[in-house]
Structure 1
Amino acid sequence: MIGKTVLITGAAKRVGLSIVRELHAAGANIMVHYRTATEAAEALVAELNAGRPGSAVCQQADLLDIEALSMLVENTIAQFGRLDALVNNASTFYATRLGKIDLAAWDDLIGTNLKAPLFLTQAAAPHLKSAHGAVVNITDIHAERPLAGYPLYCAAKAGLLGLTRALAIEMAPEVRVNAVAPGPILWPDDSEFDENARDKIVAHTLLKRAGSPQDIARAVRFLLDDASYVTGQVINVDGGRSAHL
């Protein structure tokens, strides 16, 4: 990854933060995208540049604004002169009970989880092709095995999984496109999953424990840096939960 440039969406916190640190430690230059987490993004960039000056920059963008996606790519090229990899990590996640789903939820969940990755990848495609680069989408094990109470989120992630395979065809042979599907890694910030619900989910994994953001980050690094003959695939990083849901 030394000398390569990676654009990561939703990169200031949680899993995105771990992906940033993993790829930066491998030598990559990082464009840290964020929407509202200005303080966290700026602190992260300062931390990375303290260790390797000029290796990271952050950019605010609303991924639901299609024009902002092209600017995000253009600013990455302006800063680093190249774009070798894109990690579509940014996501929204919340329950949408059938009968109460509205267009605002549709626009948000489909927009962030499916529409934005498509249009951002499209904007980045010429640069990725010239670099013979790669794309990694962060999907979800519930893209294939839906979670009750979350039909719209699951549909959005299912779309992203299908998009991953479709883009692998469209961007071949120059660009590889794969996905990482997390299981129980980080719990949502809201109260949807109480301690009892969390215990049941973890008990249903084969490894009987929750994973860590670093597990996702290492899978992303593998797909970007050490999987030159892998494209159109999804790696479930879920402790075996999806093996017997």
Structure 2
Amino acid sequence: MSQDRVALVTGAAKRVGAGLVRYLHARGWRVVIHYRSNGDAARALAAGLNAVRPGSAVVAGLDLLDTGRLPELVDAALNAFGRLDALVNNASAFYPTPVGEFTEAAWDELVGSNLKAPLFLAQAAAKALAASGGSIVSIADIHADRPYPGLMLYTVAKAGLVAMTRGLARELAPAVRVNAVAPGANLWPDDGGVFDAAERERILATIPLGRTGTPDDLAQAIAFLLDAPYLTGVVLPVDGGRSVVL
């Protein structure tokens, strides 16, 4: 039953992560809302969910780059609910790193948040997920194998995340299923530093379904993968068909 299941969602205080938490919670899941710096937003989200269904949401603050502490997020789920059924790797740093300008610090942050943390968190969660017959879903990107100019380190990290998904699907089978979704244009970045108005219009014109995605579009696909017992190693595009025309 969904109301017995527990999902840990990283980067869940706002934007896509918060939308996913609301979507899963509305379908009976209990949730662990991870945040790094948006503690107030995470606590407000949990309070709203607990008002609907008491004791169904908790928060856990942690910098995912602090690799040695990642098991604490799994412990937060087990201590609160006694089990863990799903890990959703949503947290992601994103900003331009053109060739000739990127730095080791940018490598550490972009690869750390988009690849290293998901891998080490998956390792930390594997035992608990195996015990529940659970699964992992990560958020990749259609540009992992169709690079977008100027995003070198992000692209490398997301390509690694795709390889991680397929590798873990084999390593953790049959006890744990491991899949990913690959969004195209969903919520635009907050700072607008990569996609100006003209570029957003250009991208929109390339989407066969004629609109950008929403957090609910991603959440629906993630929920599907969490419930699909014979799918593992899948990277599911959730892009309105844009990858078909790239």
- Once the two structures are TM-superposed, the CA of residue 194 in structure 1 deviates from its matched residue by 1.3
* Other-structure match for 2:33: 32
* Other-structure match for 2:222: 220
Write the deviation string for residues 69-128 of structure 1: whole angstroms up to 9, x where unpaired.
Answer: 111111210111000110000001100011111110000000000000000000000000
Distance 2:129 2:34 in 1: 18
State the AA in 1 paired with 2:153: L
* Other-structure match for 1:84: 85
* Other-structure match for 1:186: 187
State the AA in 2 paired with 1:222: F
Distance 2:192 2:90 in 1: 22
Distance 2:76 2:234 in 1: 29
Write the deviation string for residues 183-227 of structure 1: whole angstroms up to 9, x where unpaired.
Answer: 1110001122111100000101111211111100000110112x1
Write the deviation string for residues 24-73 of structure 1: whole angstroms up to 9, x where unpaired.
Answer: 11111100000001111000000000000000000100000012211111
* Other-structure match for 2:140: 139
Normalising by structure 2, report the TM-score.
Answer: 0.98
Task: Tell me how large the CA RMSD over aligned residues is.
Answer: 0.7
Alignment of 1:158-169 (within 5 A): 158-169=159-170
SS where residue 145 of structure 1 aligns? coil
- Once the two structures are TM-superposed, the CA of residue 131 in structure 1 deviates from its matched residue by 0.6
* Other-structure match for 2:60: 59
Distance 1:216 1:49 in 2: 23
State the AA in 2 paired with 1:180: V
SS where residue 221 of structure 2 aligns? helix
- Once the two structures are TM-superposed, the CA of residue 9 in structure 1 deviates from its matched residue by 0.1
Asked whether 1:153 is paired with 2:146, we answer no
State the AA in 2 paired with 1:114: L
Give ranges in structure 2 of 5+ residues lacking alignment: none
Distance 2:15 2:223 in 1: 16
Distance 2:87 2:218 in 1: 15
* Other-structure match for 1:98: 99
SS where residue 232 of structure 1 aligns? coil
State the AA in 2 paired with 1:213: P
Identity among equivalent positions (%) equals 57
Distance 1:174 1:93 in 2: 32
Distance 1:97 1:74 in 2: 38
* Other-structure match for 2:112: 111
SS where residue 4 of structure 2 aligns? coil
SS where residue 231 of structure 2 aligns? coil
SS where residue 82 of structure 1 aligns? coil
Asked whether 1:8 is paired with 2:9, we answer yes
Distance 1:34 1:178 in 2: 22
* Other-structure match for 2:198: 196
Aligned residues: 244
Stretches of 4+ aligned residues off by more than 4 angstroms: none
Write the deviation string for residues 151-180 of structure 1: whole angstroms up to 9, x where unpaired.
Answer: 110010000001000000000001110001
Give ranges in structure 1 of 5+ residues lacking alignment: none
Normalising by structure 1, report the TM-score.
Answer: 0.98
Distance 1:20 1:113 in 2: 19
* Other-structure match for 1:130: 131
Asked whether 1:211 is paired with 2:177, we answer no
Distance 2:69 2:26 in 1: 28
Write the deviation string for residues 9-36 of structure 1: whole angstroms up to 9, x where unpaired.
Answer: 0001111011101111111110000000
State the AA in 2 paired with 1:3: D
